[in-house]
Amino acid sequence: MPQIENYRDPVWKQSVSVLKGVGPAIEKKMVQKGLCTVDDLLYFVPIRWLDRSTMKKIGELKTGDECSVLATVDSYRSMFFRHSRKKGFEMIVGDETGFLSLKWFQWSKGYLSRICKKGLTLLVSGKVARFGETLQIVHPDVSVLEAGEVPTKNRAVIPVYSQIEGMKQGFIRNIMAEAIKVSDRSLPCVIPGQTENEYGLMPLKDAIKNVHGMDGAEYSMTKMDECVRRMILEEYLQFQISLMAKKRKARARKGIAFKTGGTVCDRFLKGLGFELTVSQERVIAEIASDMMRPEPMNRLLQGDVGSGKTVCAVAGACIAIDNGFQVAFMAPTEILAEQHYLNVHRWFTELGIPVALLKGGLGRERAGILSGIRSGAVPVIIGTHAIIQSDVEFVRLGLVIIDEQHRFGVEQRKKLKRKSRHPDVLNMTATPIPRTLSMVVYGDLDVSVIDTMPAGRQKVATKVLPETDRDKAHALIEKELKAGHGIFVVYPVIEESEMEGVRDARTMASHLQTSVFPGYRISLLHGRMNAREKEDVMYAFRNGGIDILVCTTVIEVGIDVPRATMIVVENAERFGLSQLHQLRGRVGRGRLPSTCLLLTSERKTTLASRRLRIMEKTTDGFVIAEEDLRIRGVGDMLGIRQSGLPPFRIGDIVKDIDLMTRARRIAERYTAGLSDKDLEKLLAQIGGRFDDARDLAGIA
């Protein structure tokens, strides 16, 4: 069994102020850079390294080289640039093959006075650039050598750090050396040396020393990438071990051991009137298996737009009802809650199961619904965040279903869960998370994926049209209208003044009605309308009373109108990939061929053009999610606050996903051999850096 090394108040957990040379002013600047503890400093990886191991002659230098030369001071002078009114300083150094210009635009008199002596031998390192016919290095790293001295091999690699206000590179390197010196006996490796050997890992101590170019480091420049990757792996290990601990703690709670095979679930599945896909059958089996266990279920159900997630969720709800428990189904918007209510109410009415819709603005009706929930007369409650209000009291809540869970805050999800003691939780999302990120964002949840579409679902043909082809778009719309089909037309804003250079929904609804399609019924839908107005408009559109629904992204999720065969997105270059994919999912929901037209202005960026090409190329939400990840990066794609992203200091979870996968394998095997007590010790050693991220990833 693995043994946990005990560290008593290790230095690396302490403030940077414990380091020699770090006073209050320096500490403040370092904290502003995010360097609060000695541990933060150890993971402050250089942005590049100067390689002194291979010396070059000046005559061998080329533009772009990052190298070192041994040269003698020839001359020096102050400079003044009239056009920018800035001062500079230039030194000319030379060897037997030529001369090189060294330039500074920030310097101290003391520093220059030490090196500005004609005939002095210098070891100069930096990136070579060309200014006119002259080769130069701007802000070089310079060491003074005594007569006949040879550059030491122990400092062959010189780290260059991201700038910290008011601190020069030499000073930062001195602080780094001090940080490594004081923490040398207890560098924060989460697994013991014997386990490092077992998994073939470079010792973390060696990796940190080498990355920071410390004397005595075992590795040279050729091993630098390996050292950085070892440090990234260490952080990923800390994160994955934190997730393993959270998962173990959750599974230790006493939940509800539901029995399966009840009459409600059996009647529901037999009465669907269509055949489940293989994916749906697998997911329902996974949900049922979880619900049978005595510990609470904490599962995420991912599925593309229209893949049939709701059917799987309702099957789980039927199991809870068969066992005499209530089900709470929470959605982020009233439109989505109402859509779920329409579908679920239809199914449960046929089974004789009462269903309530709880949302804002119910008036007197609300008291009756609350009474039914309190007494248990209403076993299925669907609603918005109104469900989590303090006066909503469940008598026996057994299953919590949260749709588009990433749209809720952490505390909102916790409040719903706390309506009962350890209910089963099923999270759903139609916003595909790239498979490469699932283990990070939802690492503490069990994940189910619906990766096939129900029979009869149509692939939506997607076409990007420029502004100059607007007449062509209108002709395609009219063809669908003549066939009696419904059309969505989506605009990025409601009012004209909200965003410069884009069309707005209110103005264009009027224009389309009076000037383009006067013979058809056009209505407007947007987020500022009250619930009753939205409901009336959607009812009319769904049942053929409206031909063209002009709207904003309020229809992005939860709208199911089988008669709608075309969606037109105006100023499509303004939307992200995931949003465009969600909007496209509003059509193709029946058995009729459907089309998505993406109308663009002439002013679109290269990235916008790339997004639009991807939309034309594929309808696979997971492929689109992977592309979106590459384009936008993790934080922008998921939203830092909701995503559950941990505060990694050096790792890029897109580029380094292989390391995250390896860290997960090691963490699973390593923690499996730890007792609960030893796992708690290990968490204490890691500290609280990943606590918030773990809470965001699931429902703590």
**At 513, which amino acid appears?**
Q
Q: Which two tokens stand for residue 327?
A: 């089900």
Cβ atoms of 390 and 318 within 8 Å: the answer is no
The answer to whether the Cα torsion of 471, 475, 481, 485 is positive or negative is negative
**Phi, psi angles (nearest 5°) of residue 310:** -60, -40
Q: Which two tokens stand for residue 148?
A: 């006949």
Cβ atoms of 574 and 605 within 8 Å: the answer is no
What single DSSP character describes residue 515?
A: I
Cα–Cα distance measured from residue 594 to residue 458, given in angstroms and rounded to the nearest whole number: 7
Cα–Cα distance measured from residue 568 to residue 55, given in angstroms and rounded to the nearest whole number: 62
- 565, with CB counted inside 10 A (0-12, 13-18, 19+), is buried
Q: Which two tokens stand for residue 62?
A: 């080329």
Output the DSSP codes for 251-317: HTS---------HHHHHHHHTSSSPPPHHHHHHHHHHHHHHHSSSPPEEEEEE-TTS-HHHHHHHHH
Cβ atoms of 112 and 168 within 8 Å: the answer is no
Q: Provide the pairing of β-strand 134-138 with 121-131.
A: antiparallel
**What region does 399 belong to: left with phi over 0, alpha with psi -120 to 50, or beta?**
beta
DSSP three-state, residue 560: coil
What single DSSP character describes residue 75?
A: E
Rg (CA), the chain: 32
Max intra-chain CA distance, the chain? 98
**387 to each of 38, 299, 554, how far by Cα in Å?**
45, 20, 21
Cβ atoms of 520 and 495 within 8 Å: the answer is no
Cα–Cα distance measured from residue 243 to residue 435, given in angstroms and rounded to the nearest whole number: 17
Nearest-CA neighbor of 12 among 32, 33, 41, 34? 41
State the pTM of this model: 0.70
Counting Cα atoms < 13 Å in the Cβ hemisphere of 1 gives 9
Cα–Cα distance measured from residue 250 to residue 298, given in angstroms and rounded to the nearest whole number: 9
Residues 6+ apart with CB under 8 A from 25: none
In the predicted model, residues of the chain with pLDDT beneath 70 are 1-12, 53, 82-84, 146-156, 185-188, 215-222, 405-411, 413, 435-436, 438-444, 456, 498, 557-558, 633-647, 688, 691-700
Cβ atoms of 20 and 126 within 8 Å: the answer is no
Cα–Cα distance measured from residue 546 to residue 5, given in angstroms and rounded to the nearest whole number: 70
DSSP three-state, residue 302: strand
Structural domains in the chain plus CATH codes? 1-47+161-213 (no CATH), 49-158 (2.40.50.140), 263-450 (3.40.50.300), 460-618 (3.40.50.300)
**388 to each of 285, 359, 394, 643, how far by Cα in Å?**
29, 11, 11, 21
Cβ atoms of 508 and 586 within 8 Å: the answer is no
Count other Cβ atoms within 10 Å, centred on residue 491: 25
**82 to each of 79, 87, 130, 131, 315, how far by Cα in Å?**
10, 9, 21, 17, 76
Residues 6+ apart with CB under 8 A from 627: 577, 614
- Residue 364: its pLDDT value, please? 83
- Residue 336: its pLDDT value, please? 81
Q: Provide the pairing of β-strand 564-569 with 486-490.
A: parallel
What single DSSP character describes residue 604?
A: -
- 183-204, pLDDT tens digit by residue? 876 666 888 888 888 888 888 8
- Strand stretches in 420-571, DSSP E: 424-429, 446-450, 460-466, 486-490, 522-525, 548-551, 564-569
Cα–Cα distance measured from residue 651 to residue 234, given in angstroms and rounded to the nearest whole number: 10
**At 221, which amino acid appears?**
M
- 654-685, pLDDT tens digit by residue? 788 889 888 988 988 899 888 989 888 888 87
Cα–Cα distance measured from residue 672 to residue 664, given in angstroms and rounded to the nearest whole number: 12
DSSP three-state, residue 611: helix
Q: Provide the pairing of β-strand 298-303 with 424-429.
A: parallel
**48 to each of 202, 223, 424, how far by Cα in Å?**
21, 14, 49
Cβ atoms of 288 and 314 within 8 Å: the answer is no
The answer to whether the Cα torsion of 183, 189, 191, 196 is positive or negative is negative
**At 334, which amino acid appears?**
E
Cα–Cα distance measured from residue 80 to residue 274, given in angstroms and rounded to the nearest whole number: 81
Looking up tokens 């959270």, which residue turns up?
246
- Residue 641: its pLDDT value, please? 38
Buried b (16+ CB within 10 A) or exposed e, 624-650: bbbbbbebbebeebbeeeebbbbebbe
Cα–Cα distance measured from residue 434 to residue 442, given in angstroms and rounded to the nearest whole number: 11
What single DSSP character describes residue 37?
A: B
Cβ atoms of 424 and 260 within 8 Å: the answer is no
Cα–Cα distance measured from residue 678 to residue 241, given in angstroms and rounded to the nearest whole number: 12
Residues 6+ apart with CB under 8 A from 444: 243, 246, 247, 250, 298, 694, 697, 698
